[in-house]
Structure 1
Amino acid sequence: MLSPHDPLLSSSASSLAALVRGKQISPVELVDAFIARIEAENPALNAVVVDRFERARGEASAAEALLMGAHAGEPLPPMLGVPCTVKECIAVEGMPNTAGVHARKGLLAPRDADVVRRMRDAGAIVVGLTNMPEGGLWLETNNRVYGRTNNPWDPARIPGGSSGGEGAILAVDASPFGIGADIGGSIRIPAAFCGVFGHKPTGGLVSNEGYWPSVPGALDIFLCTGPMTRRAEDLWPLLGSMAQRPLEGRPEAVDLREVTVYPLETGAARVREDQRRAVRRAARALEARGARIEALRTRGFERALEIWSAMMEEEAGALSYAEVLGNGRAISLPRELLRCSRPDAPHTLQALVVAAAEAILKWVPAPLATWSRAGKWLREELEAELGPRGVLLHPPYTRTAPRHFEPLLTPFDFVCTAIFNVLGFPVTEVPAGRDAAGLPLGVQVAARRGADALTIAIAGALEADLGGFVRARPSRSAPFRTTPPRR
């Protein structure tokens, strides 16, 4: 019987899959062991908010039957029997699909999202759904359906968002991999705050079908569904299973002696020195492996907020966050702000502040067309300068994980990640050690559209040089759940 404390469970998802295919681990034992880990670690985090344990056990038994009945040499699904977790706004058939929105409480997904179907076809088994902010448009993972999620390194701090539950449960080694989504940093910020890997794919590479709220027009390119992992080696095979079209290149074909690295320590936000040092340390590590270091000539990152806001607004059309919070019917902001401190209030303060800011900005004249053109120019200039073998290193946030509510004081710091969404670039977030307080540091590795293999190859090199994933061990001194997990 596989123990939930077995160090083998800390192996990569790819390694676990190989052990299953080699009949060295039973899918049933593997799923049971990770369920036990979730049950042990989750009470301090509130990361997995909907468990799927019994269905997962049934699917593990089916996977075991398939494995035992396979003939020698018969091909098997690449992730057969490997458990995973999924961000709650990504549909899993028969499971809650609220996106943390109170007005959607009780709604169940009628079918799997495209990316979930693809991962199931690859043999993966969903054991639970993870928490997120209301409607997915903020970096504090908190809502009135499931409650608040805490950072696994320090429960007084946030795990990031909007894929905060994924980052938190991966950080305590209780899930081999997760499926997140990112429209302004929602994979990369939690990955950075929790000390795991996250990959925002090239825009449009992975289907967003089955994500709620659905996004119109080019927002479907800006929003990217992608993998979150504990090991860099899992990113590429998982991306290959998730993608709706063939991937370009291969990480193992990247020769670092042909790579040019452009470190950019700061942009539109004031980045703290420890984050800037992480970028410099990553650049030096790549230089030691033969990469060239050059200063970025292209200008425009200092106006990242204006560019991101304009390109998002230009494509959003009638999509309103107030309507997202009301599940299609705009909430009354004055009324909800007056009652948000009540225990039975349907919305968090953070969500209402974001909705109010959106409403105010709609009345402020803004040269959307000018800034949108500037964003398209920035994309063209960057792609020309980076070329097929250039990567940009950039901090994922201005600092390590802030305390709960603190991001309300610096609401625009997410531009460190958001600019890459409207550019459509692939970006891999890589753990880069820890700061003086012991909190995880991270570095973003970005490249031109289609160069996902390049950023993932760089992530593998930096994993070896900067230390990679280290398991967090949260304090269990107090319970943090506000609602029980849904089944």
Structure 2
Amino acid sequence: MASLFTARIRFRLLQVMGFFIGLVGQAVRAFGGPKLGSMITRPVSEPLLLLSGVQLAKLIRQRKVKCIDVIQAYISRIMDVNPLINGIVKYRFEEAKKEAHAVDMKLLENWEDDATLEKKWPFLGVPLTVKEAFQLQGMPNSSGLVNRRNVISKTDATVVALLKEAGAIPLGITNCSELCMWYESSNKIYGRSNNPYDLQHIVGGSSGGEGCTLAAACSVIGVGSDIGGSIRMPAFFNGIFGHKPSPGVVSNQGQFPMAKGVQELFLCTGPMCRYAEDLVPMLRVMAGPGIKKLKLDEKVNLKDLKFYWMEHDGGSLLMSRVDQELIMAQKKVVAHLETVLGASVQHVKLKQMKYSFQLWITMMSAKGHDGKEAVKFVDLLNSHGKPISPLWELIKWCLGLSVHTIPVIGLALMEEKFKYDTEKYKKFKAMKESLLKELVEMLGDDGVFLYPSHPTVAPKHHVPLTRPYNFAYTGVFNALGLPVTQCPLGLNTKGLPLGIQVVAGPFNDHLTLAVAQYLEKSFGGWVCPGKF
């Protein structure tokens, strides 16, 4: 992944390259590129699509709603909307309908009380979508890499198996960026996903197809993974909830590419959903035995929490300035917490946040405990076992002949040119340890930190090429190993989602999840596209 570059020079080169590529892309679009309408104009009309996973499962268990009716409602919505957003890239409708009928038959034969059924199957009959990077039996597992387009999963990833055992019914797999390494979800197999609030804007990455699918009410719960913000950026850009758990809680097994070495410490698999009340039940299921590391049964008294906030990273020259609308949204949250909730809220300035990108890239480039370096990014691009030449791929891309996206080629070029800098690693590792210590001491076991999710709302397509480092607003918390919940805060003046990250100390996920539910009640949570 992007983990494989180092040194300040590469930052500048990639930024310059991205700037010119962005200009080319804009020129191409200006002269005959595909034109997309701005918005999905058909809001949800089917009431079943406006219920949380918890609510749907309860209605199904109590036999007030047939599972097949729920699944059919979602299939109809997908057929209506997915051609616009291209979120789901492979359907499994026939299998889903068979599984729905099986649920209905099971309930005809099983008359146990609701509490017993809930314990067995907390998500019985609930529609689920899964990021294509995860194994889902019978479905492709390419991560957008052309030389893996014929790879079909023979089994389920650990989290997928756990959700299926809990009763969830997968409807299909969702789009991602090539090799899950970029924050626009586009690749040479499935094409590009579009934001349901404005089709000209990105959905984020790498779990972007999952984000837009949920936001467009084409699914209710989903699976994502996050090594630099790949759950939280799509959740933010699409106005839904996403949670990056504390490391080591949820299994990462069964996804491609799989993090190795020290990168395993930063990759987190977690839940994505439209409704905050689904986050905790999903995490309980997805974590399996790892749930023992968390304190989800502890009651959280929000008035007793200590809230801290910071409106930007302190002024990094690598990243964009935070939009005023995002700052104002954050200040509204702060004012609400102070005046309505009556909580303690303190503005802070963490000086080392200004080096968020450097901290992330340094930690991702580190050697593992066994002294081995991570797998080279360029090696993942091998074609049938043969190494590729990044420079030749760039030439082919300019001629429209490459099977790779330009972000992947750019990252491979940077990796090839620059070597790992030991001194720089020591410097930023020490800075990371210092920042982590400061945050952990500040937050303790009763504090949360409010921080922007990204400097801007969802940008237009291709714009990330000119702003490659903005993801560091999320990536820094992977480097620090802290749990984070992404929370929607309504829409801006142009109808695009606003949001905020809620951060806690290690293994204090229950605090951020409790705050997420409170913010949903206070600010409305997910807003259905087409209703503004």
Give distance in 2, aligned partners of 1:231 and 1:436: 23
Q: 1:13 maps to which residue?
A: 53
- What is the rounded CA distance, in whole Å, between the counterparts of 1:329 and 1:362 in structure 2? 22
Kept in 2, the 8 Å contact 1:431–1:441? The answer is: yes
Report the AA paired with residue 346 of structure 2: E
Letter of the 1:311 counterpart: M
The AA in structure 2 aligned to 1:290 is G
Q: Which amino acid aligns with 1:439?
A: L
Contact 1:144/1:345 (CA < 8 Å) preserved in 2? no
* SS state at 1:336 partner: helix
Q: Does 1:238 align with 2:282?
A: yes
Contact 1:31 1:83 in 2 (8 A): yes
**Alpha-carbon distance between aligned partners in 1 of 2:519 and 2:365, rounded to the nearest angstrom:** 36
DSSP 3-state at the match of 1:253? coil
User: Partner of 1:385 in structure 2?
Assistant: 442
Which of 194, 217, 221 pairs up with 1:177? Answer: 221
Which residue in 2 is equivalent to 1:98? 142
Q: Does 1:301 align with 2:353?
A: yes
Contact 1:101 1:326 in 2 (8 A): no
Q: Deviations over 1:305-356 (max 9, x none)?
A: 1111111000472322222233775421111111114555311122212332
Distance in 2, matches of 1:24 and 1:356, equals: 57
Aligned to 2:104: 64
Q: 2:273 aligns with which of 212, 221, 229?
A: 229
Match of 1:415 in 2: 472
CA-based RMSD: 1.9
Q: CA–CA distance in 2 between the matches of 1:367 and 1:456?
A: 36
State how far apart, in whole Å, the 2-side matches of 1:272 and 1:407 are.
15
Q: Deviations over 1:204-229 (max 9, x none)?
A: 11000001111113322211111111
Deviations 1:418-469, CA, capped at 9 Å, x for gaps:
0001111111111112222111111000001111110011011111222210
Query: Aligned partners of 2:208, 2:416: CA distance in 1, in Å?
Result: 26
> Counterparts of 1:94 and 1:456 in 2: how far apart (Å)?
33
Give the secondary structure class of the aligned counterpart of 2:89: strand
Tell me, yes or no, if structure 1 residue 281 matches structure 2 residue 332.
Answer: yes
Give me the whole-angstrom Cα distance separating, in 2, the residues matched to 1:191 and 1:59.
28
CA contact (8 A) 2:367 2:374 kept: no
CA distance in 1, matches of 2:109, 2:520: 38
- Any idea what SS the aligned residue of 1:294 has? strand
Is 1:450–2:470 an aligned residue pair? no
1:298 offset after TM fit, Å? Answer: 4.4
**Secondary structure class of the residue paired with 2:351:** coil
Aligned length, in residue pairs = 472
Q: Aligned pair in 2 of structure 1 residues 364, 338: CA closer, same or farther (>3 Å)?
A: farther
Q: For residues 212-262 of structure 1, what are the alpha-carbon distances to aligned partners after superposition, in whole Å with 9 as ceiling and x for unaligned? A: 111113322211111111111110100110003125333771111111111
- Whether the aligned pair in 1 keeps the contact of 2:211 and 2:234 (CA below 8 Å) is yes
User: The residue matched to 2:261 in structure 1 has which SS?
Assistant: coil
8 A Cα contact 1:263 1:280, kept in partner? no
Q: Which residue is 2:458 aligned to?
A: 401
Change in 2 beyond 3 A, CA 1:214/1:292: same
Assess if the C-alpha contact under 8 Å between 2:261 and 2:374 holds in 1.
no
| CA-to-aligned-CA distance 1:400-432 (integer Å, 9 cap, x gap) | 111111111111010000000111111111111
CA contact (8 A) 2:391 2:413 kept: no
* Paired residues for 1:42-191 under 5 Å: 42-73=82-113, 74-75=116-117, 76-191=120-235
Q: Distance in 2 between matches of 1:95 and 1:251?
A: 35
Deviation digits for residues 134-154 of structure 1 (CA, Å, limit 9, x no counterpart): 000100110001111111111
Q: Which moved more, 1:80-89 or 1:28-37?
A: 28-37
1:405/1:360 CA distance change after superposition, 3 Å: farther
Distance 1:92 1:320 in 2: 26
Q: Does 1:429 align with 2:486?
A: yes
Consecutive unaligned residues in structure 1, runs of 5 or more = 475-487
Rounded to whole Å, the distance in 2 between the matches of 1:433 and 1:151 is 15
1:22–1:387 Cα change, 3 Å: same
Q: TM-score, normalised by structure 1?
A: 0.93
What is the aligned partner in structure 2 of residue 478 from structure 1? none
Distance 1:190 1:329 in 2: 33
* SS of structure 2 residue aligned to 1:388: coil
Match of 1:320 in 2: 376
TM-score, with structure 2 as normaliser: 0.85
Letter in 1 for 2:511: L
List gaps (5 residues or longer) in structure 2: 1-43
Per-residue CA deviations over 1:51-94 (Å, capped at 9, x if unaligned) read: 11111112112222222211332434110111110000011112
1:96-145 CA distance string (max 9 Å, x none):
00000111110011210000011011110111100001000100110001
TM superposition shift of 1:155: 1.2
Distance in 1 (CA, whole Å) between partners of 2:163 and 2:246 is 19
* Aligned counterparts of 1:94 and 1:142: Cα–Cα separation in 2: 22
Find 1:331's aligned residue among 388, 392, 395. Answer: 388
1:216/1:315 contact within 8 Å kept: no
* Alignment partners' CA distance in 2, 1:274 and 1:329: 49
Aligned to 1:260: 306
User: Which residue number in structure 2 is paired with residue 28 of structure 1?
Assistant: 68
In structure 2, what is the Cα distance between the partners aligned to 1:12 and 1:319? 40
1:340-396 CA-partner distances (Å, limit 9, x unpaired):
145553111222123323334436676112212221222122111111111111111
Letter in 1 for 2:256: W
Q: 1:358 to 1:151 in 2, by over 3 A?
A: farther
Distance 1:128 1:366, change over 3 A: farther
Output the amino acid matched with 2:88: V
Instruction: Compare 72-81 and 233-242 and name the one that shifted more.
Output: 72-81
SS in 1 for 2:439: helix
Distance 1:325 1:275, change over 3 A: farther
Pair 1:391–1:351, CA change in 2 (3 A): same
